[in-house]
Every structure is written in C-alpha cells, then in structure tokens.
Amino acid sequence: MAKLVVRNLRKLFGHFEAVKDVSFEVSEKETLCLLGPSGCGKTTTLRMIAGLETPTSGYIYINDVLVNDVSPQKRGIGLVFQDYAIFPHMSVFDNLAFGLKVRRTPKHELTVKVDETARLLGLSDVLHESAKGLGLSEIQRVAIGRSIILDPKILLLDEPLSNVAAKVRERMRGELKRIQREIGIATVFVTHDQLEAMVLGDRIAVMKDGLIEQIAEPDEVYAHPHTLFVADFIGSPSMNLIECELLEKEDRVFLDAKDFAIDVTEFAETIKKKVTGPELIMGIRPEDLHMSIKKIDPKAIRGEVQFIESLGSSSIYHLKVGQKPILVKGLLEVEAGDKVWVTFDLKKLHLFDKKTEVAVW
C-alpha cells in the first residue's frame, strides 16, 4: 500500500494556467474525489500524477519518493479512463491477463491472479466470455481489473461513470465503493458529478479555475462550505443565495435583503470581525427553511408559491418572497398561488463576504 502526496502543483499551457497551486495527500485505503466543473483543472491534475503531463512546477510523491521525473509505467499507477479502453475482441480472462503477459508472468501465477481478481470484481461467471458481449457494469469492472491486477500503488479514475445511463450509474457507484474498500488502494477519483463525489469520496477536493476551494469530508463540505462557489456547487437543489446588507438599527443588527430582513444580533460581533464591508450574501439550503400556512413563528416571512416540483416523499416549492425567488424543500399541502410563511433556521444560515466570496459565518 502507498501514500500519495501532491505539493504546490502547477501546469501552464502557453500563457494559460490550468492548475495554479494544488496540494493534497491521499492515504492508504482512502478515496479523494477531485470535484468541479469542466475546465477547473481536475483531469490535468490527475494526468500529472499519472505522468502523462509534466508539471510546470510542484512535486508529486508516492511513498515519500519524488516521481516527477519517473516514467508513467514505473510509477506504479493504475489508471481507468471514462472510455474504459478494454479489448472487445478478447475474452475477459485475456483482458485481465494482458498486463501480466506483457510482464512475462509465469502461467500458473498469471492464472491465480486472474482468478483472484475476477472473484473480487464479480467476473468469475463471465471470465471466458468475449468482452464485446458484456454490459456496461461488467466492462467497467474489467477495466478496473486490468489496472488493479498489476498491484498498483495508486489508483486513478477519470470520470469512469460519465458515459453511463443514470439508472445504471447508481448501481455502479455502489460497486466502485465496494471494490475500493476491498482492495484498499489510495484512490483519486475525478468527477464533475457532486452526488458521485459525496457517495464515493472519503474526502472531496472542490476545484475551481485551477485551485482547490475546499478539501474536507463530504458532510463537512455540505454543511460548512468555505466559499460561495462551494456553497452553490454542492447540493441539489442548490443553496438559496441572497444578496443583503449588514444593517444596524437601534440596538439590533439585521441582514437587509430589501424584500425582507433577518435579525442576526446574536451573531453580529462574530460576523463584523470577518467582513470587509456591509455587503454580504446569505445562503440557506432549501431543507433548512420551514414553511407553514399560518404564521406560527413571529420571525416568519410572507411568500407566495409559484410552482411545485414533486419528489414523491417530499417536494421542492418555488416561492417568491417580495421579488426574491426562494426554494424550500419539504412536504406541505399547498398549491401554486397560495400564500405561505417561511422561517429561516438561523443555526443553518451561511454568510459570505460579497467582495471576497469567503464564508464569514
């Protein structure tokens, strides 16, 4: 087993800085998901770790050994791309055995390794079938098998589920998680799908414009986003983000959003210490808003239901509070056009400095 360490990694393509200053560690048995939109630098980072791209600067260590100048085939990397790249004209056995044959592994040892890998991946029943007749889930497992059969130190997965239909993807996510737990290899998983990252990652590194905005466990990233980008990118439906101004009136402090105001006097001193000015962005997730037909809470705000998305066990309510669109997730018997009351859970409220876009509360 091995540990991966990336320090101050940068990559320039001409004058374009694709990766700016990326640092992280991945320990044995851990999966780190590099998550972000297209063009954020996550795949370029992965390719530098694999040795397919040369860093402009920075360092890559595998088991405390600097590998910047080590060729890809000597780094001990297992790499799975989104197109899987298996040989359809070969059997599953021959696909799994290909790398071992290149290494001139003795026949008995080769057969034992292939059988062990097939059992781990649930491929024993199709071991001698042609790869061209396999389903997507089996093709994915063959591709992973071809990588792990060579006992890599680090496993790199580059959006392996992006070409899979949504219904199949859920099952394959479960299979990937099980496989990674069983093989226990330090794994870097690149994806643009936040749900995939939340399910598969022991930690998530959220990337934007070549930088890591936040790196933490999935629950931490969701509950305590460090930046406005992370808050907006993580979560479905997205967090409500509302421009406001920190306003002091008599002995009270409010977040004034023009159409409504939230009293934050009890948190005011903490907020003031971190802001660069009065302009802020408040954020609250749809599930952290409470909606009722009657005004139960004196701090509740009046809104109108615009339309409703039913999710079965719950619904997403699209409200308009003054001129502000707000999403609420819950279950309440209302219809479009109904007037409702909305209460903010202040313990779940997020505040971001509008100028720096960094969390201040």
- The predicted-structure confidence for 98-123, as pLDDT tens digits, reads as follows 999 999 999 999 999 999 999 888 89
CA–CA distance from 146 to each of 73, 143, 166, 325 (Å)?
Answer: 14, 5, 25, 50
Q: What pLDDT is attached to residue 140?
A: 82
Task: Return all residues near 61 (Cβ < 8 A) that are at least 6 apart.
Answer: 3, 4, 5, 6, 7, 67
- Domain parsing of the chain, residue ranges: 4-227, 240-353
346 DSSP assignment = G
Strand pairing report for 315-321 and 279-284: unpaired
Q: What pLDDT is attached to residue 177?
A: 84
Q: What pLDDT is attached to residue 1?
A: 65
Ranges under pLDDT 50 in the chain: none
Q: What pLDDT is attached to residue 187?
A: 94
CA–CA distance from 3 to each of 26, 52, 58, 216 (Å)?
Answer: 6, 19, 17, 18
Task: Return all residues near 292 (Cβ < 8 A) that are at least 6 apart.
Answer: 300, 332, 340, 341, 343
Q: Give the CATH superfamily of 4-227.
A: P-loop containing nucleotide triphosphate hydrolases (3.40.50.300)
Three-state SS at 76 = coil
Fold of 240-353: OB fold (Dihydrolipoamide Acetyltransferase, E2P) (2.40.50)
Q: Is the whole model's pTM more than 0.85, yes or no?
A: yes
Q: What pLDDT is attached to residue 135?
A: 84
pLDDT in tens, 163-189: 677 777 777 788 788 888 888 889 999
